[in-house]
Amino acid sequence: MRRFFDKALSIFLSFAFVCGMAGCSFRPAQETSDHDVYVIGFSQLGSESDWRIANTKSMNDTFANNPDYELVMDNARQQQENQFAAVRRYILEGVDFIIIAPTVEDGWQTILTEVHDAGIPVIIMDRSVAVDDEDLYLTNIGSDFLRQGNLAVEWLEDEIPEDAEIKILHLQGTIGATAQIQRTKALEDAVAKHPNWEITSQLYGDFTEAKAYEVVTDYLIENSDIDVLYSENDNMTFGAMRALDEAGISYGNGGQVKIITFDATKEALQYCHDGKINLCVECNPMFGPRVKELIENYRNGLPIPKHVYVDESAYTTQNITQEFVDSREY
């Protein structure tokens, strides 16, 4: 018996010694081990707009405090080469999954081939990529940006008399981004159909308030004859509104310039409710939960559609309530 206790004690001490050296700890049975954590590398393109900030928050909120997942995010500050560097780092670190919100559509073939060769599944989120082989990514979740643009021009067609001559100032987002390409296409197609519609200028605002303020301020020094502002996101609209205010040009309901904006953030909806913006076309950034669902479907071997569009609408001063504005999450 004595020999049995001596042996048990010696086994216990050896185990405790090995654990001490190796840094082991006892875990409750239900606790997830590091091995089970599913690591997602997320290359977010930037923080240029309120939309983007809401989108990042939606992703973080979805995966935060979830012991099964770890979301590692990199902010590329609107530079595609920063996205390439982040994705290559994720490959080296051997993450389980990669999500990319691409700055622009072109230039992804090589890096996506590298990710594919490393056997890591990829979701393209928000905007799209132009690659030869769609099998390089699992799915593309985001907005139907062409539909958004078409909603805007259809509203304008209803709003103005058919033969009215109109001058449109067009504020463009990051050139080559899906949101810019498709919203621009909708407007240019409509202008081609309506000989009495004219785009007086296409100004580059890079989806930021500061850039839009700068270019619109400069533009208004020489040109004040504008009937419509077609602005490819809310933050650029806010910059343009400031420039219009300073130039003494009225806008919104009953004003000289009708304003069309994209995103429909809370601030823009409030302006719309107050009659300062005529049309807010929604671009929904809150798709963290849908991304998680897609990842889970993939992990469970369920089929994944190649394109997933989020639900969106459009709001005017006439159809928006204060209650709705107050309930807006972003």
Chain residues that interact with ligand AHR, rule: CB under 6 A = 48-49, 51-52, 126-127, 179, 207, 233, 262-263, 283
As a whole number of Å, the CA-based R_g of the chain is: 26
CB of 138 to ligand AHR, least distance (A): 19
Strand order in the sheet with 38-44: 69-75, 38-44, 97-100, 122-126, 139-142, 307-309
65: left (phi over 0), alpha (psi -120 to 50) or beta: left
Three-state DSSP class for 197? strand
Closest to ligand AHR by CB, 95 vs 216, is: 216
Please give the Cα distance from 195 to 200 (Å, whole number): 13
The single-letter DSSP state of residue 310 is P
Task: Report in angstroms how near the CB of residue 207 gets to ligand AHR at its nearest.
Answer: 4
For residue 51, the minimal CB distance to ligand AHR (Å) is 3
Q: Least separation, in Å, of the C-beta of 104 and ligand AHR?
A: 11
- First and final CA of the chain: distance in angstroms? 71
Question: Quick one: 55 exposed, middle or buried, by C-beta within 10 A (0-12, 13-18, 19+)?
Answer: buried
Distance CA 312, CA 83 (A): 28
Which residues, other chains included, contact 185 with Cβ-Cβ below 8 Å and sequence gap of 6+?
A: 146, 149
CB of 301 to ligand AHR, least distance (A): 31
Closest approach of ligand AHR to the CB of residue 222, in Å: 28
